[in-house]
Amino acid sequence: MSQFILEMRDICKSFPGVKALDQVSFRVQAGEVHALVGENGAGKSTLMKVLNGVLQANSGTILIDGKPSVFKGTKEAQAHGISLIYQEFNLVNTLSVAENIYLGFLQTGKSGLIYWKTVRKDASDLIGRLGFDFSVREKVQNLSVAEKQLVEIAKALSVNARIIAMDEPTSALTTKEIEKLFEIIRGLKAQGITVIYISHKLDEVFAICDTVTVLRDGHIIDTKNVRDTNHPEIISKMVGRPVEMSYPRRAVAIRDDETVLEARGVACAGFVKDVSFSLKKGEILGIAGLVGSGRTELVEAIFGARSLHAGEILIHGKKVRIRSTADGKGCSMGLVTEDRKETGLALHYSVSDNIVITNLKKISKNLFVDRKLSQEQVGRYVRELGIKTPSARQTVMNLSGGNQQKVVLAKWLFSDVEILIMDEPTRGIDVGAKYEIYLLMNKLVEQGKSIIMISSELPEVLGMSDRVIVINAGRKKGELRGDGMTPEAVMSLAIK
């Protein structure tokens, strides 16, 4: 009996033109919490999908409890006790919690008809096992992100999973919710369930995991016990070179005498109650707060994507009426949205098409779009931002997350924004690309632009901002600057 509950040996997986996994050998001990870290594109998702039966490896073997197994589909993987929880939840929003847990395979009674009472009871029991208690009749679309995640874990438990792999489980959770998740993971461990924890967040890895494996460019670099290593070592293995942990420094660029944006008493039905703040030229203003506190709605209202029910907005001291995103853009503002795939980019369009859309006048001569001009201009931005793409005509969908985000940035720079609002700018982006975006942000403020940044990653908010305002349930609870900018200070203001 092998001590390794899971062993993946010499797994190779190629896609047309890309070798995603190259002789990957990965071992997990029974009952441990094993972290899998690596940059975007390193192959973590591919490895997990091979494990889960979604993809078939070109070569190599998978051993469960020492026995070789072949998974031709997720159902087979499930039968062997493997469950994968995706980053974007695999839930059907229109259906209830109970139904989602047993999706497609609900308990039937003697008559062959579904016995809903049993289904609901079983579902409630599972939720209870995780230490929670909400109605399993609730439609999933009404749940919070943390609750949805619980449903996913309940799903895994319902098929008696022995190995649960979680892909970036905390990307949309608040600190409190992350704590609760850790409790659950400890609980799972106590029940003898093995957890594979895929994440970029090394703080969490060091907090909850026993072992960490680093993947880079389709190769396993190393596996270490968490106790025997540290942040810098892991990061350098991930990136392949020694990397600075801190956020890039910048020359102080703040013009205290120039207030570019001022929000007074901004209110937005249901989300924002009363927020006032100002933004100086050359400043990076961080907005911190719990998920759901109204930060996104606040900036959407300022930009014009959401209607303002009360309050005023002043640009360079003059009151402006912003009733649509076109108005917002007209005031030299730009909004890099939270979800670049849904609202930031037209995925099937090219890099070029996506960049020019905010300022078609720039590439037009007398009403008509000029191809040459367009190529020149786009080329400039691709070079300046370091967007890695074979050509500007490449479909945006094929780019990595970091490069996609750069395209979004390029789009707004193209329209010559003065005030750039960024909502979770580095979400879902690997360490290397994150650093590049931070450098870009610094460059922008040094050039005289001003940035408002919403981030749920405390280190990021504190590391990049000149000043931080904390939003709590739609109100500005506090403003921090200088030495007062500490994680504790932010948290105490963010939590009621």
Partner 1 sequence: MFGEQGIQYLKANLTKVLRSQGVLLGLVLIIIVASIVEPTFMTVSNILNILRQASAIGIICLGVTFVMMTGGMDLSVGAIVSLCSMVAVVMMNTYGSLPGSTGIVLLAILTVLAIGFAIGVINGLIITAFNGRLGETFIITYGMQIVVASLALLYTGGQFVPGIFAMGLYQQLSMGFVPIICFLSLAAIMHVVLAYTGFGKQISFIGANMDCARMSGIKVSRLRVITYGICGACAGFASIIVTSRVYSASPLQGTGYELEAIAAVVVGGTSQSGGTGGIVNTILGVLVLSVLGNALNVIGVDANAQLLFRGAIIIIAVGLDMWNKMAKQRESTK
Partner 2 sequence: MSRAKTKDIRPLELFLNQTVLFLLVGFILIMALVKPSFLAWWNIQNVLIDVSIYGVVACGMTILIISGEFDLSASSQYMWAQILYITLLNSTNNPFLSIILTLGSGFLLGTINGLIVTRFRINSFIVTLGTMTMIRGLCLVFTGGKMVDTQNKFIKALGSAEFLGLSSLFYIYLVVLVIISAMLAYTNFGRRLYATGGNIEVAHLAGINTAFQKTAAFSIMGVLCSIGGIMLVAQLRAGSTQYGTDLALTCVAATVIGGTRLSGGAGNAFRTALGMLVIVVLYKALIYLGLQAYYQNLVKGSVLILVVMFDLFMTRRRTTMKQERS
Q: Which residues bind partner 1 (CB under 8 A)?
A: 15-18, 305, 324-326, 328-330, 334-335, 337, 342-349, 353, 356-358, 360-361, 364, 367-369, 394-395, 398, 411, 415
Residue 269 interface partner, choices partner 1, partner 2, none, CB cut-off 5-8 Å depending on type: partner 2
Q: Find the angle CA(20)-CA(22)-CA(23) to the nearest 5 degrees.
A: 145
CB 132 to partner 2: min, Å: 12
- CB-CB contact of 209 with 34 (8 Å): yes
393: phi then psi, degrees, rounded to nearest 5: -95, 5
Nearer to partner 1, 226 or 417 (CB): 417
CB 107 to partner 2: min, Å: 9
Span 80-99, contacts to partner 2 by CB under 8 A:
90-95, 99
Beta bridge partners of residue 422, listed in sequence order: 336, 453
CB 50 to partner 1: min, Å: 18
Helix (H) or strand (E) holding 410: helix 401-414
Say which residue the tokens 């942990």 belong to.
Answer: 245
Q: Which of 66, 68, 73, 265 binds partner 2 (CB under 8 A)?
A: 73
Nearer to partner 1, 133 or 342 (CB): 342
Q: Which of 12, 63, 106, 347 binds partner 2 (CB under 8 A)?
A: 106
CA distance 360 to 375: 13
What 3-state class would DSSP assign to 414?
helix
Say which residue the tokens 């094993």 belong to.
Answer: 34
Residue 254 interface partner, choices partner 1, partner 2, none, CB cut-off 5-8 Å depending on type: none
Residue 104 interface partner, choices partner 1, partner 2, none, CB cut-off 5-8 Å depending on type: partner 2
Identify which of 129, 142, 207, 195 has the alpha carbon closest to the alpha carbon of residue 165. Answer: 195
Nearer to partner 1, 305 or 489 (CB): 305
Per-residue contact flags (x/-) with partner 2 for residues 141 to 160, judged by CB under 8 A: xxxxx---------------
Whether the CA torsion 487, 488, 491, 493 is positive or negative: it is: negative
Nearer to partner 1, 157 or 345 (CB): 345
Judged by CB under 8 A, the stretch of 74-82, 182-190, 257-265, 415-423 that binds partner 2 is 74-82
Q: Which of 15, 66, 75, 447 binds partner 2 (CB under 8 A)?
A: 75
Residue 347 interface partner, choices partner 2, partner 1, none, CB cut-off 5-8 Å depending on type: partner 1
Separation in Å, CA 123 to CA 23, 127, 136, 146, 151: 40, 6, 7, 17, 9
- Residues that contact partner 2, how many (by CB under 8 A): 32
Residue 335 interface partner, choices partner 2, partner 1, none, CB cut-off 5-8 Å depending on type: partner 1
Q: Which of 70, 245, 252, 269 binds partner 2 (CB under 8 A)?
A: 269
CA distance 183 to 166: 15
Q: What is the dihedral of CA 320, 326, 332, 335, to 10 degrees?
A: 110
- CB-CB contact of 294 with 473 (8 Å): yes
SS3 content of the chain, % helix, strand, coil (to 5): 35, 30, 35
Residue 378 interface partner, choices partner 2, partner 1, none, CB cut-off 5-8 Å depending on type: none
54 binds partner 2 (CB under 8 A): yes
CB 293 to partner 2: min, Å: 10
271 binds partner 2 (CB under 8 A): yes
- CB-CB contact of 408 with 344 (8 Å): yes
CA distance 361 to 374: 10
| DSSP, residue by residue, 416-458 | T-SEEEEESTTTT--HHHHHHHHHHHHHHHHTT-EEEEE-S-H
Residue 489 interface partner, choices partner 1, partner 2, none, CB cut-off 5-8 Å depending on type: none
307 binds partner 2 (CB under 8 A): no
Interacting residues toward partner 2 by CB under 8 A = 54, 73-75, 78, 90-95, 99, 103-106, 108, 112-114, 116, 134, 138, 141-145, 269-271, 292
